[in-house]
Amino acid sequence: MRINNKNSRVDLTKPLNFNFDGKSYIGYQGDTLASALLANGVKIMARSFKYGRPRGIVGAGAEEPNALVQIDVGAKTTPDLKATQVELYDGLVAQRTSGWPSLAFDLKSVGGRFSRFMPAGFYYKTFKWPANFWPLYESVIRRAAGYGKSPVVPDTETYDHQHHHADVLVVGGGANGLLAALLAGRSGVSVILLDEQSEMGGYLLSTPNATIGGKSAIEWRDGMLAELKSLPNVSLFTRTTAFGLHDMNMIQAVELLQDHLPHSARSQTQRRERMHRIRAAKVTLATGAFERPLVFGNNDVPGVMTASALATYFNRYGVACGKHALILTSNDSAYQAVADLAAGGVKVTLADVRNEINADWDARFKQLGIDIYAGFGISEVLGSTSVTGAQLVKLQANKHAASGAPLTIACDVIASSGGLSPTVHLFCHDGGRPTWSDESLAFVVSSNGRANAGIYCVGAVTGEFQLQKGLVKTVATMMELLLSLGKKVNDKGLHLETNEIATSPAHAIYRIPTTVKAFVDFQNDVAVTDIALAVRENFKSIEHIKRYTALGFGTDQGKLSNVNGFAIAAEFLGKTIPEVGTTTYRPAYTPVSFGALAGAHVADTFEPRRYSAMQVSHEKYQAEYETVGNWMRPWYFPKKNQDMHNEDIHAAVNRECLAARNGVAMLDASTLGKIDIQGKDVREFLNRVYANAWSQLAPGKCRYGLMLDEAGMVMDDGVTACITDTHFLMTTTTGGAAKVMNWLEKWHQTEWPELEVYMTSVTDHWTTAALVGPKSREVLAKLCSDIDLSKDAFKFMDWRDGTVAGVPARVCRISFSGELAYEINVDASYGNYVWQELLSAGAEFDITPYGTETMHVLRAEKGFIIVGQETDGSVTPLDLDMAWAVGMKKPYSFLGKRSLARSDTARSDRKQLVGLLTDDPTFVLKEGAQLINSTNITPPVHMLGHVTSSYYSAFLGRSIAMGFVIDGIKRRDNDNAIFAYANGKAVAVKIVSSVFVDAEGARHNV
């Protein structure tokens, strides 16, 4: 029921329409969905996970275990939000996330009647028979499980990250957080203060009648905020939750930027959420505490909540959750709520498990006409779908048993307080542990216990629940923090005395004895009896109890239930609570969207796409692309065929291949890694990092090199040019470039610093056009007059400097296709220009740009390997039949050499690379086909190796392939066929040399 409470933060002049579970309601600006629903008298908001019991709102914030709702529809729909954290906006549409067919009647509740047969872990003991029925059982279980629905269409809103570096981060904007931030701010250091809620103030917003320094709670907060806002070195963030604290005070915090706005007010150019990554020299945790309910019979009936929630709805939202409230407490923290409600016209009955009531309070209560039951507890709540009353029992001295007949109290809302549980989560994320305090009856963190890590704690989180004492300690703690930053604290004009009534000690009690189900963790239906069962079954570690009962497993992560669970476990284990300890607190403090975690790293900007300078032209030629490393490389260039469709890859590749073999074609080879290496020891350096020898290579010449890892396995390859005796230009594979660069640097820096070499990556500087084919010389000649291109002046494996199309170029006569070919390297700024010029110059010869697929076919026809396709990290040069590329006589034991001599690596009968031919020349083997001895494919079948490369060679008019075969080199060209297995079929193949075209190299020697 909505009451007119002058302190309420809700603006009754701004009504908002919203819809929950198909019904329309009205709430007000400042409401949460929870407060608005309560104001509208909605009691049932969910059905419980296991038993389908009706559930209502228990808390007022992040601790809410029951009221999980689905907000919005379509692309904006979001599952499992806590109604207590959803700010109301006009037009909000919410759905329940449990209860089928409806909240009023849930089918599970039928099964729920058999709850006695469904204790913790019952599913481990059953659903086992008959064995093959498990899939059926499972599908039933699955359909029963789960809360909200995942969206089914892509998210249309966006997210990003923002990195901050601050001297002091204060987490939590309650009284203590505000004070801490102000003190830090006044000292001049950079400060960030953030709070998860829509406005700063924390619990002050729930206790408007408290006064600080003579000001009302809200006035005091406003004063603090005003000064904080006036400080340029302080940044304030609301709706911002610190959800993870990581090593060295890296805090992840997510800011909700738009979800609280009506759709009409949301902007496409703004983010939905922003993740702040805050690296803070010092962190001050002012995260407060959650009130812990007491555990009693049927404590899950809608209308049972925590006393602080009751107070919060009443004071902050102007909502009375009932006309007659029964409040059960074991401590004084609920008293203010009792007084506020009574003063506000609610009939209040107070039950306190303690036998004496603090005298001052007693007087207050008497004035307010409150019935008080001292030494009483609630044994059982009455009512099924909502509270109608409760049974009170007189507790015996030990409080574990009741004496005398219960008396029945009629009421329509019940609230309880078992004390406060500090919000220690963040403190523990990076390995910290809370300690039990018998005085606070809570797991607390010390204000400076982790000062060495830069972590300080203030307020309720430290177990100091008195407002005034807390604030005073906050000043002391901040003094220490600022001192460590070489600053002084300045508390000028801060008056911290409050109007609190001194409190009397709380009583250590967590559950009231009862004969009916009493729930500890509402969301997972964990009852006291489940914890008892777990212990009985020897799940005695609190981690086992958690895992067996699912205590604290839910979306609230046990904010309300954990400590009660630990305490009740201790009782059954006959241990003290500190002996039992806590489970591990992990991120996220409250759930955070995948979108916020991903930030900008989605879609176009998920990961870099690297392009060469010729991309502009490739676009024009409508290339299809292949991803190689981070690069986007043209895979092939489909042409429109007669009926104006694009050619398929086979037509395109055949055309491109024939152009290269018979006319002229051109490949963008810019993506190859290029490393410029200089110094007097370059040759020695190359001798060490390459398998082959470099001492003799003359300036003006190029050589192919094989690079091995220390295990002797082929790691990369490429052609390296000798520019001068002290200057070489190395090329690497496209995918291996970065790896090789680091590899070279690492060996140089760590093992051979004495070698005089420097290396610099020039991959991006040079673009490379590979001009390939019998006509390539003629094309190049049209654009290049200052290099003598004649056969003998410019030999195979030579390089020359000159100009191409007027652009300074380094031309290498090397060939990965076996054809006459020139690789033309120019400054990338001219890359696209030169590429264009070559295309025009070649037009008369029908010059054909080609992609990686054709490059693969051409090199396969020549038996050249591709590192990463022929090799997989388990292949040596000898396996590749490339002993010619290994200089065994080099003085220095080059990288990988020794490994080649290991007993297994040196075996002569390893898998070796060979050529493969099918009998049927039109049949193209599957790359990845396995090679076997016979057509018998009934497993297990002994495998000889596999097909690494396989293509249709338009030039040869037949299919060709390469692959590994055990002892393959010996078996070349002997007639007994082996078989290639793929797609359930085995076809005969002959083992042949892997050079299919021009073994003697006549084609490129022209």
Ligand X SMILES: NC(=O)c1ccc[n+]([C@@H]2O[C@H](COP(=O)([O-])OP(=O)(O)OC[C@H]3O[C@@H](n4cnc5c(N)ncnc54)[C@H](O)[C@@H]3O)[C@@H](O)[C@H]2O)c1
Ligand Y SMILES: Cc1cc2nc3c(=O)[nH]c(=O)nc-3n(C[C@H](O)[C@H](O)[C@H](O)COP(=O)(O)O)c2cc1C
Q: Is residue 138 part of the contact set for ligand Y (CB under 6 A)?
A: no
Binding site partner of 177, from another protein, ligand Y, ligand X, none, Cβ cut-off 5-8 A by kind: ligand X
Residue among 82 and 221 whose Cβ is closer to ligand Y: 82
User: Least distance (Å) from ligand X to the CB of residue 240?
Assistant: 6
Q: Which does 988 bind (CB under 5 to 8 A by kind): ligand Y, another protein, ligand X, none?
A: none
Tell me how far, at minimum, the Cβ of 415 lies from another protein, in Å.
27
With CB under 5 to 8 Å by kind, the binding choice for 465 among ligand Y, another protein, ligand X, none is ligand X
Q: Which of 526, 519, 299, 318 is nearest to 415 (CA)?
A: 299
Assigned token pair, 644? 């104006």
807 with 832: CB under 8 angstroms? Answer: no
Binding of another protein by 184 (CB under 8 A):
no
Q: How many CB atoms lie within 10 A of CB 917?
A: 19
* 172 contacts another protein (rule: CB under 8 A): no
Both structure tokens of 757: 């070499």
Query: Residue 548 corresponds to which tokens in the numbers above?
Result: 């067996």
Q: Which of residues 562-621 bind ligand Y (CB under 6 A)?
A: 583-584, 586
Does 384 participate in binding ligand Y (rule CB under 6 A)? no
Instruction: State which amino acid sits at residue 845.
Output: F
Query: CB under 5 to 8 A by kind: which of ligand X, ligand Y, another protein, none does 287 bind?
Result: ligand X
Q: State the maximum Cα–Cα separation within the chain, in Å, rounded to a whole number.
A: 116
Asked if 141 interacts with ligand Y (CB under 6 A), we say no
Residue 626 binding another protein, by CB under 8 A: yes
Q: Is the Cβ of residue 396 or residue 584 nearer to ligand Y in the bound state?
A: 584
- Minimum CB distance to ligand Y smaller for 553 or for 625: 553
- Dihedrals φ, ψ of 62, to 5°? -65, -15
Site track 139-168 with another protein (rule: CB under 8 A), x = hit: --xxx-xxxxxxxxxxx--xxxxxxxx---
- Among 100, 127, 553, 572, which residue sits at the site for ligand Y (rule: CB under 6 A)? 553
**CB-nearer residue toward ligand X: 253 or 804:** 253
Out of ligand Y, another protein, ligand X, none, which partner does residue 420 contact, by CB within 5 to 8 A per kind? ligand X
The identity of residue 148, as a single letter, is: G
Angstrom distance (rounded) from CA 513 to CA 294: 11
- Beta carbons within 10 angstroms of residue 599's beta carbon: 18
Which CB sits closer to ligand X, 287 or 617?
A: 287
Nearest of 879, 847, 545, 557 to residue 712 by alpha carbon: 879
Residues 6+ apart with CB under 8 A from 821: 770, 771, 772, 773, 776, 813, 814, 815, 1004
Beta bridge partners of 701: 798
The region that residue 52 occupies, defined by phi over 0 for left and psi between -120 and 50 for alpha, beta otherwise, is left
Q: What is the 3-state secondary structure (H, E, C) of 773-812?
A: CCCHHHHHHHHCCCCCCCCCCCCCCEEEEEEECCEEEEEE
Strands 799-804 and 807-812, by their bridges, are antiparallel
Q: Which of 108, 215, 540, 782 is in the footprint of another protein by CB under 8 A?
A: 540
Q: Are 748 and 765 in contact (CB under 8 A)?
A: no
Closer Cβ to another protein, 105 or 123, answer by number: 123
Instruction: Return the DSSP state at 206.
Output: G
- Partner that binds at residue 601, options ligand Y, ligand X, another protein, none, CB closer than 5 to 8 Å by kind: another protein
Position 572 contacts another protein (CB under 8 A): no
Own/partner contacts of 468-473, CB < 8 Å, gap of 24 or more, are 468/212, 468/496, 468/497, 468/498, 468/500, 470/175, 470/176, 471/175, 471/176, 471/179, 471/212, 471/496, 471/498, 472/496, 473/447
Paired with 988 in beta bridges are 979
- Which of 2, 80, 81, 73 minimizes the C-alpha distance to 37? 2
Stretch that binds another protein, among 226-234, 411-419, 483-491, 597-605 (CB under 8 A): 597-605
C-alpha 370, offset from chain centre? 52
How far apart CA 252 and CA 557 sit, in angstroms, is: 18
Of residues 190 and 815, the one with the C-beta less far from another protein: 190
The alpha carbon of residue 858 and the mean position of all alpha carbons in its chain are separated, in whole angstroms, by 43
| Residue that has been written with the tokens 């400590």 in this structure | 563
Give whichever of 176 and 832 is closer to ligand X, judged by the CB atom. Answer: 176
Look at residue 474 and give its three-state secondary structure. helix
By CB under 8 A, is residue 984 in contact with another protein? Answer: yes
Which residues make beta-bridge pairs with 668?
A: 769
Using rule CB under 8 A, residue 555 touches another protein: yes
Q: How far is the CB of 910 from another protein (least distance, A)?
A: 10
CB 65, min distance to ligand Y, A:
13
CB of residue 147 to ligand Y, shortest distance in Å: 11
Contact footprint for ligand X (CB under 6 A):
171-177, 194-197, 202-203, 241-242, 286-289, 291, 308, 333, 420, 423, 426, 459-460, 465, 467, 470, 589
Using CB under 8 A as the binding rule, whether residue 374 contacts another protein is answered as no
Question: Among residues 76, 473, 507, 990, which is the contact residue for another protein, using CB under 8 A?
Answer: 76
Other beta carbons within 10 Å of 388: 15
Residue 530, class by beta-carbon neighbours within 10 Å (0-12 exposed, 13-18 middle, 19+ buried)?
A: buried
Residues in contact with ligand Y, counted by CB under 6 A, come to a total of: 5
Per partner kind, with CB cut-offs from 5 to 8 A, the member of ligand Y, another protein, ligand X, none near residue 127 is: another protein
Query: Does the protein bind another protein through residue 972 (CB under 8 A)?
Result: no
Work out how close the CB of 390 gets to ligand X at its nearest, in angstroms, rounded to a whole number. 21
Cα dist. 719→109, 292, 810, 876 in Å?
Answer: 74, 71, 14, 19
Task: Note whether 147 binds ligand Y by CB under 6 A.
Answer: no
In the complex, minimum distance from the CB of residue 628 to another protein, in angstroms, rounded to a whole number = 8
One symbol per residue from 909 to 928: x for binding another protein (CB under 8 A), - otherwise; what is it?
Answer: -----------------xxx
The entry of ligand X, another protein, ligand Y, none that residue 128 binds, CB within 5 to 8 Å by partner kind: another protein
Does position 146 bind ligand Y by CB under 6 A? no
| Residue 242 contacts which entry, ligand X, ligand Y, another protein, none (Cβ below 5-8 A, type-dependent) | ligand X
* Residues in region 120-139 near another protein by CB under 8 A: 122-129, 131, 134-135, 138
- Report if residue 113 touches ligand Y, rule: CB under 6 A: no
If the CB atoms of residues 145 and 603 are measured against ligand Y, the closer one turns out to be: 145
Minimum gap (Å) between residue 772 Cβ and ligand Y: 54
176 binds, among ligand X, another protein, ligand Y, none (CB under 5 to 8 A by kind): ligand X
Burial (CB count <10 Å: 0-12, 13-18, 19+), residue 607: exposed
Q: Which is nearer to ligand Y, 591 or 921 (CB)?
A: 591
Query: Which positions touch ligand Y (CB under 6 A)?
Result: 553, 557, 583-584, 586
